[in-house]
Amino acid sequence: MGVAAACFAAAFRRSAFWVTEHVAGSSDPTVAASNLAVAERLAIIGGALVLAWLLARTSMRLARSRLGLAQLAAAARGEGAAPSLGCTLLHSGSTWIATAGMLSIGRESAIIETGGAIGAAVAGSDAPRRPSLIAAGVAAAFAAAYHAPLSAVVYVEGHIGIRDSRRSLIYGLIGAASGYTTAELALGGEAVLPGLERLDGSVVGFAALGVVPAIVASLLFRWLRERFPRVDSGGIARAHWVAAALAVGLVGAFPKATGNGLEALRSAATSPTMQLVLAMVVVKMIATVATLRSGVPGGVFSPSLAVGAGAAMAALLVCGASPSRAGELWGAALVAMAAAITISLRSPLLGALVVAELCGDPKVLPLTIVAAVVASVADHGFVAAAKRLAGKGVPAVVDDADG
């Protein structure tokens, strides 16, 4: 099952990149979009959104309640119906179209959801084993997609919510190990992001300055995801039209905001410019929310990394940091990513750990731990303030975009 999830993750990414490269000359969507004329870019992105939306609607109509990460998490806890593998593959196909079509969306949620659905399919009618196999499938897919086996276990234990089942935890460990091993040994896996060149006082100083804007941007990103449908008082259908127009128009106008954000992050690690980091934090934030609210399924894990890192780097550049100090700026970006994941998925342990695994660099771990703690405290304060103002807090539930 871990092998199947890892192979699906690799096939999903590579096939989408192959299409992008043959259409626009590069597997990097930020470069591919820049290679196209504006009219071509808008046509491709708009067409991909329409096709992805149609396929998503079809999968949801067929699956009814047996679809999505939230439903998958419930099934992993033994509280819901088993996910439909066929409908999940259709749903993932919608995200694949959006990825190949260079929309601003996280692609790994489809991989994680499919991994869990594979686990449910392996369990078949064996209801007692189904939650454990779903947990194993989710962990295997997460580990393969993000090069992060330890974070995969944290994700299923805390975020999916299987901590009360020892068997599910054991299956999750096995799934994470098999998915990661398959990706590393058989599929040529490697660290998702560059690590730190060095860790010194200047990196720590940059990180301390950058974490606050990263927290603010991440809170705003989450708030927009939760509130965007309410922008139109005339009804949700009209809001979806607004979202679709924003999703296509913003990415068409700012090609650096295409993709899930990882490609932009890799560019920012070596060549941080104000144009690039603003595209990561401002345009990526709005375009990703708009794409999700237009009805295209996808995730926010990778976009959250880009938003947090972009906010930190933009603030530092505004304060006078030179783009030539790419090492210090990238160190601040890595720490900002820990804060961003803490807030986006409401999981400080995941935020502290996953960035070190994404870049394969354990020396960043002390800084990401501190950033995750600070972000968690800030998030609790934000939720408390929202509760006092609105009479209710932000529900700590698994969202379908939490991947």
Cα gap 262→295, rounded to integer Å: 22
pTM, rounded to two decimals: 0.92
Q: What pLDDT score was predicted for residue 269?
A: 94
Main-chain phi, psi angles of 299, to 5 degrees: -120, 175
Q: Is 231 helix (H, G, I), strand (E, B) or coil?
A: helix
SS3 call for 299? strand
- Are the beta carbons of 6 and 187 closer than 8 angstroms? yes
- pLDDT tens for 250-280 read 999 999 999 999 999 999 999 999 999 999 9
pLDDT recorded at residue 234: 46
Mean pLDDT, range 311-318, rounded to an integer: 97
Alpha carbon distance 349, 351 (integer Å):
5
Q: What is the DSSP track for 133-166? A: HHHHHHHHHHHHHHT-HHHHHHIIIIIS--TT-H
Write down the residue that tokens 């780097």 correspond to.
313
Token pair 């000359």: residue: 25
Q: Greater confidence, 393 or 172?
A: 172
Q: Beta-carbon neighbour count of residue 56 at 10 Å?
A: 23
Tokens for 356? 């070190």
Which range among 21-30, 70-79, 198-207, 325-334 shows the weakest confidence by mean pLDDT?
Answer: 70-79
Among 145, 137, 129, smallest CA distance to 172 is for 137
pLDDT of residue 60: 87
Q: What is the pLDDT of residue 380?
A: 87
pLDDT-derived band of residue 395, with 50, 70 and 90 as boundaries? low
Residue 300, pLDDT > 90, answer: yes
Mean pLDDT of the chain: 89
Residues 6 or more apart whose Cβ sits within 8 Å of residue 324: none
Q: Is the pLDDT of residue 232 over 70?
A: no
Strand ranges for 59-198 from DSSP E: none
pLDDT at 301 over 50: yes
Judge whether 45 and 248 are in contact, CB under 8 Å: yes
Which distant-in-sequence residues (6+ apart) come within 8 Å of 395 by Cβ? none
Q: Which domains does the chain show, CATH number per domain?
A: 2-186 (1.10.3080.10), 201-390 (1.10.3080.10)
**Percentage of the chain with pLDDT > 90?**
67
Can you give the pLDDT at residue 6? 85
d(CA 291, CA 298): 9
Question: Which of 125-134, 176-185, 195-204, 226-235 is least confident?
Answer: 226-235
Local structure of 38: helix, strand or coil? helix
Is pLDDT above 50 for 231?
A: no
Question: Would you state the pLDDT for residue 72?
Answer: 84
Q: Which of 296, 309, 297, 317 is nearest to 351 (CA)?
A: 309
Q: Which of 34-38, 66-70, 96-100, 293-297 has the lowest mean pLDDT?
A: 66-70
Q: Each residue of 47-99: pLDDT tens digit?
A: 999 999 999 999 988 887 778 888 888 888 888 788 889 999 999 999 999 99
Position 390 confidence tier, pLDDT thresholds 50, 70, 90? low
With H, G, I as helix, E, B as strand and everything else as coil, classify residue 106. strand
Provide the pLDDT confidence category of residue 233 given band limits of 50, 70 and 90: very low
Q: How confident is the model at residue 403 (pLDDT cuts 50, 70, 90)?
A: confident
In terms of Cα–Cα distance, which of 4, 22, 316 is closest to 144?
4
pLDDT at 149 over 70: yes
Residue 64, pLDDT score: 73
What pLDDT, on a 0 to 100 scale, did the predictor assign at position 230?
46
Return d(Cα 306, Cα 265) in angstroms, integer.
6
Contacts of 107 (CB under 8 A, 6+ apart): 12, 13, 16, 95, 96, 98, 99, 260, 298, 299, 302
- How far are the Cα atoms of 152, 236, 335, 348 from residue 354, in angstroms, in the given order? 9, 35, 11, 10
Once rounded to an integer, what is the mean pLDDT over residues 101-112? 93
What separation in angstroms does the CA of 370 have from each of 211, 302, 338, 351, 382? Answer: 10, 21, 9, 10, 18
Distance (Å, rounded) from C-alpha 176 to C-alpha 144?
A: 8
> How far is 56 from 198, CA to CA, in rounded Å?
45
Torsion angle of the four alpha carbons 275, 276, 280, 283, in this order, in degrees rounded to the nearest 10: 40
- Say what the pLDDT of residue 396 is: 54
